[in-house]
Amino acid sequence: MTTQQNRTPSLLRRLGSARIYVGALIVLLWGLAPFYWMAVTAFRDPAYTFDTTPWPTHVTLDNFRDVFDTSRGNDFGKALLNSVIIGTATTAIALIIGVMAAYALARLAFKGRYVVAGLILGASMFPVVVLVTPLFQLFTEIGWIGEYQALILPNISFVLPLTVYTLSSFFTELPWELEEAARIDGATRMQAFRLVMLPLAAPAVFTTAILAFIAAINEYLLARVLSGSETEPVTVAIARFSGNNPLVEPYAAIMAAGTLVTVPLVILVLLFQRRIISGLTAGGVKS
């Protein structure tokens, strides 16, 4: 009887672990299956684009050559550079503002602090489509349509709530005794923040930078309306790809372009996954 009772909890633990692994496998397949099929199609001869073979067949690199071919009006290389410029500028400005705002919300006690935090979080839920017409009218009147600032400024407003939310939760859990010790030693509040607290928040800042950069270069709706031929990012460039036949969508070339954009981001996340996880979870555990 005792042996059977001991086996029951062990069996339940194994079943629980099996459910976890099965669930993780389902999520993994659900997330990676589209990416895998995109890569398979990218390396497949355009004549066999709709071949349903689940592994690579009729492998060719012509699709990647077509991506960078400018003879049909496509300029993927320039669009890629535009995305890097927009994403980098958006991330840098959002981090500068977000770090200071998050520190103020976490450390300074002022009237209406929770209202400000609620407004910042509420801004992240505001639908982007509602802003398309007002922004288009505003930027047309001031001559910003087709300029980088017309793409960077809206992206900052969308990325900033994520930045503030992630960093404020992290700053809240930092050991403030270190800042107080620096203040006792004669440092100003800004010096204590810059020399003591900010280095401690490096994992969270790094995590936020990656998430903000990915969010900025993935934005399509506003970029489609506000960008010009000289400033369009890869999301817009891929959407208007043209092939040899104007009546047929170049699906294979589009998949190749998507692979070129997605693979570096996947590699970036895999290389820094530990730091990303530590940055996202560090503020969630009290010591």
Question: What domains appear along the chain, each with residue ranges and CATH number?
Answer: 2-62 (no CATH), 63-284 (1.10.3720.10)
pLDDT tens for 75-119 read: 899 999 999 999 999 999 999 999 988 888 887 777 877 788 888
pLDDT at residue 6 above 60?
no
What's the whole-model pTM score? 0.83
Beta bridge pairs of residue 16: none
Could you tell me how many residues make up the chain? Answer: 287
Q: φ and ψ at 255, to 5 degrees?
A: -65, -35
Give pLDDT, residue 225. Answer: 92
pLDDT higher than 90, residue 226: yes
Question: What's the pLDDT score for residue 255?
Answer: 92
- The pLDDT, as a whole number, for residue 15 is 74
